[in-house]
Structure 1
Amino acid sequence: MASLGANADQPAQPGFVYLDQVLQHAHYEARYYSGDNFVGSRIDGYESPRVILTKEAATALAEVERDVALSGLQLKLFDGYRPQRAVAHFQRWAADLADTRTKDRYYPHLDKAALFRDGYIAKKSAHCRGSTVDLTLVDASTGQELDMGSHFDFFGPISHHGTNLISVQQTRNRETLRSAMQRHGFEPYANEWWHYTLKQEPYPNTAFDFPVK
């Protein structure tokens, strides 16, 4: 693992690191930078496709990486630290009920107005505190994501932990991720199989807003 303080290329906020300087074999798909997301465009505050976390969360995630490698698996990151301005962007999008361009892919069985009510979009996001990560598992031999039964940011009961809407193998794949994350100090979010927060997060009451760049 790279030294957390050795590289001059660091995020603007002290106490945070780029994951590509900490993890050895992770994959990245920065959805909120690319525009391939439920809003349908790049999200405010994402000026780079890199993923940032607090040093504490990054250190714990490096332990997860080593853990899953024993089973021939690697991590794939979708998001980490999220600027508060990005959450504001999500709020504006959610309030525009006429914009349903992404409904078929991301929330086909829900009314857009229900996304806040049902907890899929938060007015205050744990991601802004810097110790929450969205991720999945990849087969190291093929580079393919494990089948989790629903894709990242699919809003609906099929994405919940404990759902009976997925196969036995898909349930096992989710449990492999969940078990590894919990062993190294992360807590799952009930509505999203990909979302985990470090229990002992260093900034539990601070929502940051520095850009990802």
Structure 2
Amino acid sequence: MDTGSRTGSMERGGASMSVSAEPVLPALFVDVPAVVPNVIVDLRYAGPNNFVGVRVDGYEAERALLTRPAAEAAARVAEGLARQGLVLKLLDCYRPTRAVAHFARWAADTNDLGTKADFYPDHDKPELFDLGYIAGRSSHSRGSTLDLTLAHASDGTELDMGTPFDLFSERSWPASLAVTDAQRDNRRLLAAAMTDAGFEPFLMEWWHFTLKGEPFPDTYFDAPIR
């Protein structure tokens, strides 16, 4: 998950920001599989396979939603990678603000350590806020950020990126030297494809990208995913 900070595509210091309380998303939001060919959808927060350990608030269905400009940019990525026998595997897309609030409640509960070994073995839970792994806002709530990896089109096997999704560790940083050359090459392949299509990477997560020139740069949506 992203912190909403530590990169230019995240929080904008001094800018006016708002949270939309509308129960439905604007018409500019689309189902990603309707735009991106052969995409694999595996939204981790729609089930228990995540650092919280349960389905996250706001994920009432496993639907990958993005703004149309972000989805169309992802389609360009998919088109280029298809020539290499690869497809996109989506791990998170639009994220309601209520989900971010759920993350914050989880992080504040120091008695719940059930996922520590899998997701934050290097840190004590209270450190996750200070280190920027958990925060009060997420760029995902603006609708043009996605978490993803690459998989082989032939069998859906993921490329080895060196760490699992949402491992809160410096090993997950794209530039980490704690992974093998082959794993770093896979990260570079993903990053190059995404940046060429107009996305910005995040310095703490190899899987996280935000569309430059996103249509809702200052609005955080809370409509549940249904």
Tell me which interval the TM-score lies in, with the shorter structure as reference length: over 0.9
Alignment of 1:180-191 (within 5 A): 180-191=193-204
Q: CA separation of 1:68/1:170 partners in 2, compared to 1, >3 Å: closer, same or farther?
A: same
Of 134, 140, 148, the match for 1:127: 140
Q: Secondary structure at the match of 2:103?
A: helix
Q: Deviation string for 1:66-104 (max 9, x for gaps)?
A: 011111110000110000000000010001011100000
Question: Between the two proteins, what is the percent identity of the paired residues?
Answer: 50
Task: Give structure 1 stretches of 5+ with no counterpart.
Answer: 1-10
Task: Indicate yes or no: 2:184 matched with 1:153.
Answer: no
Q: CA deviation at 1:12?
A: 4.1
> Counterpart amino acid of 1:41?
V
CA distance in 2, matches of 1:152, 1:125: 16
1:30 & 1:163 partners in 2: Cα distance? 25
Corresponding residue of 1:7 = none
| RMSD of aligned residue pairs (Cα, Å) | 0.9
Equivalent residue for 1:37, pick from 50, 57, 75: 50
Task: Look up the match of 1:138.
Answer: 151
Does 2:18 correspond to 1:24? no
Aligned mate of 1:108, from 102, 121, 128: 121
User: Under a length normalisation based on structure 2, what TM-score does the superposition of the two structures give?
Assistant: 0.88
Cα contact 1:31–1:37 (8 A) shared by 2: yes
Please tell me the residue identity of whatever aligns with 2:157. Answer: Q
Which residue in the other structure is 2:184 paired with? 171
Structure 2 counterpart of 1:4: none
Whether the 8 Å CA contact 1:13–1:210 is kept in 2: the answer is: no
1:193 aligns with 2:206: yes
In structure 2, list runs of 5 or more residues that go unmatched.
Answer: 1-23
Structure 1 partner of 2:224? 211
More displaced 10-residue stretch of structure 1: 150-159 or 19-28: 19-28
Equivalent of residue 81 in structure 2, options 45, 68, 75: 68
What stretches of structure 1 move > 6 A for 4+ residues in a row? none
